Structures are given as C-alpha cells and as structure tokens.
Structure 1
C-alpha cells in the first residue's frame, strides 16, 4: 500500500491522543479494535484529502460527528471525522489539494480532534504507517534545546526523572511535588530564582504567553486537577512539540495533548 499525503499542516504524529490498536472496553469487558487514530488539533484547521480519488460518503453519526470518506482507484478508503464542517459532497473527485472540511469537536470527540481511519477490503490498517505527517506544532517555538539557557533548565530537570511524587516535597532529598519541582529546577539551573512557590504562586510571577508563542522552557499551567481553592493547581515545564516535563508520579515527560491535560489546560507563562 502506498503512503498517502498528510491531511493537515501539522506534525500530527506528536498529537495523537488515542492510537490504533486493541483495547479492553471497560463497559463490556470485551477486547475491541480502535480502528483509527484521534489527533488533537486546533478547531477550524483545514483538512485536505490525503489521496487522489473520490468522495464516497459524507454524513453525521453520534460517534464520528461530521465525517468524509474518500477512496482511491485501489479501493483504499480514508475516513476523516469530528469535522466542524464539510466542504465536499458525495461523488466529487478530490486531489491532495482539495479541502474537504475543517476540524472540530463533533460526535464523541473530547475536544477539537481529527479522527483518521484507513481501510481496504474490510481490513483496518494503522494510519500512522500509511499517512504522512506534516510539519510544525500546535504550540509555537517547537523545541529550543540549542538555546543555552533552556539547555541548562532541562539538564537540571532531567536529573530527577522517575523520582516519585511527594506532597510538599521541594528538594532531591525529599523528592518533589509539581510546584516544588518547577521551583527547584528554575532556581538551581540559575534561570530564575523562584524560591519555593505553589503552582498559583509560580503563575503569579509569570507573564502570560499565547499558546502559539509558547517555547521550550516556558511554564505550563493547569486548573481543576484537585480542590485547591485557587485556579492554578498543577504546573510543568514545556519542552516543545506538545510535551512537558513535570512531577506526575513519577517525574516524567508527558504529552500535553491527552484528553485529561487538554481538559485542565489553563495557560502558558514566562517568569518575569
């Protein structure tokens, strides 16, 4: 099978929230195949046909929301779902330059997402292996590890990978909680002397940064992760390309594009 074109101008491999593969359905206890991939994207992103072919179906369902299906001369079909709107109709010819719709949160989407599914002769294939990815990220700046200041920050942060989460912890001797980790890393890397602040306290000393301008080394904030009595409840260090290093349990790199972190996202900031 050939490799098809990317449907969106984004390195979407980095923003997959649900992968193709088998899983256990908690409601039924049965093993089922998740037949495609769910990609977190900005709402309203233009979606192009990944192939030269024909639109064989358009419509709406409770699961897929607005969807389009294209098919090429070899009988390979690609479904694009959760669309905000549909720009083509059944039976029209498409090329890889044809805009078929824009991304949205229709159907069972947990946020603005694009669902991709690839099938031939009734067999479902992993889209990652057959559909190319694009370039660029959801958040500006990408990775900035060649910057000496940011390199110092991450060199310090990575010393503590896999250390456990400890409520109130703020040093290697005690291990860390989320704000203790960020405070310690910024202070001991020499990037910013924060002392020991809470997640809200760190937010209060930062200048807000628009998501599209966020760079590696900025701080990412979350809300509502527990009942703290103040808006900001969790904090991490943005690593670029949709990743952060934070004190979960344990300290680790994590995608910020999972449904959980997307639903609790509060903002980016840069220490004053």
Structure 2
C-alpha cells in the first residue's frame, strides 16, 4: 500500500522518527521485514555495507549545525571584542595627542607671557621724581658750572623727596661724588648710564640690581648747589663728560616730561 503525506507545512521528523525510518528501510532491503531489538547497540542485526552494497549514512545534522553556529558566534564575539579594543586604543591615542597638544600650547603661552613680561620690565622707564618738572634744562650756560654748561637736567624737588631709578639696571656708584654731593650712578640694561646727584640720603649699594620706579635715595642739597633739587644725567659711560641729552633719552623710552 502506498502512503501519501498531506501537502503544506510539516515538521521535520524527530531523530527517533528518522532512526525508525532508517531501520525500516534497512529491514525492507534485507527482505526480512523485521528489525532487531531496538535495545541492541547500533542495530547489531543490521547487515554490513559489504553485504548490502550500500554505504551507511549517519545523521549528524543537528550536531554539526550546532558546532557551526557556536563557531560563528565565537568568531563574531572575537571580532566584536577586537573592534572594541581597537576603538579603545584609538580613543586613548587621540586623548593622549590632545593632552600633549594642550600641554605644548600651555607651555608656549606661558613662555610668551614670560617673554612679554621681561620685555615690558626691561623697557619700562619712569621719571626720577614722580609728578615733578624740569627746572633747569640740558646745556644751559652759566658760571655756576665748571664746564661752562649744564651736563644734565634739574628736577624740582624739596629735600627728602623720593628719587627713583628711571629703569632696570645695576648700581655702579653709590656715595660721595665731589661737586655732585651724594650720588648714585646706574648702568642700565641697554648699556647706557644714568646719574642722580645732590642726594640727602642713599638707599642702594654698588652691585645692587634695581628696577624702574625703585627708590634709590632722597633728594637734597649736597655738593655744589644753591638749593635742594635732583640733578639727573644720561651718559654713554659712568664717567663725567660722556653726557647725552637726558630729556631726549627719557622721551625715547616713553617718559613724557
């Protein structure tokens, strides 16, 4: 009798059903119509391939498929982990470069600020007497000066008025200067010299570094004078006779008189 299967969707036979069908098929081929005890391992009564001329087929479809699925899943997981690790390393490298760039920029900004501060400090000049004015001009003539003319300028100042260094420099003379009375001579950072004379007191010493606006003494009337004031000179050396126009000197450094 021939059996037919209903059309449409159907479930895949279970492993037991497939085994039973295979046993039935083998029994039909041998002509016995009888299958040995199902409890016998691997169908012991089943004829050998050499006897039947057929090659036995072992159904391992589910096991192989499971292994393939597991392997694919493992490969996918490994690829995902590798991608995440690569992304992590890329992010760390980007962060390291960003931090290094920020640090370099910060160092450069700091160096620029320091250079600007130093430049400003070196190039800052002030009047030797705050809020004063020139009472006697440069190279004014008269018998009161041994050279026949004024080698500096005089600033109006009462005795005891603070006298300031006009810029940054090093004190090279501090003491009695004959006709100049108590004096201070400073070598400026640009190699020029400034002199402050007729002081009533001196508050710096030779070799001392001074900055613009720093007090170096007080005005007075020591030496060859007719009254209290500050005598100021700009020079090319520390010695008398190397004077240059002090007004032009101060104005060239931004000091308005």
Same fold? TM cut 0.5 = no
Q: Rg larger in 1 or in 2?
A: 2
TM category, shorter: 0.3 to 0.5
Give TM-score scaled by structure 1 length: 0.43
Structure (1/2) with the larger strand percentage? 1
Relative contact order, higher structure (CA 8 A, sep 6+): 1
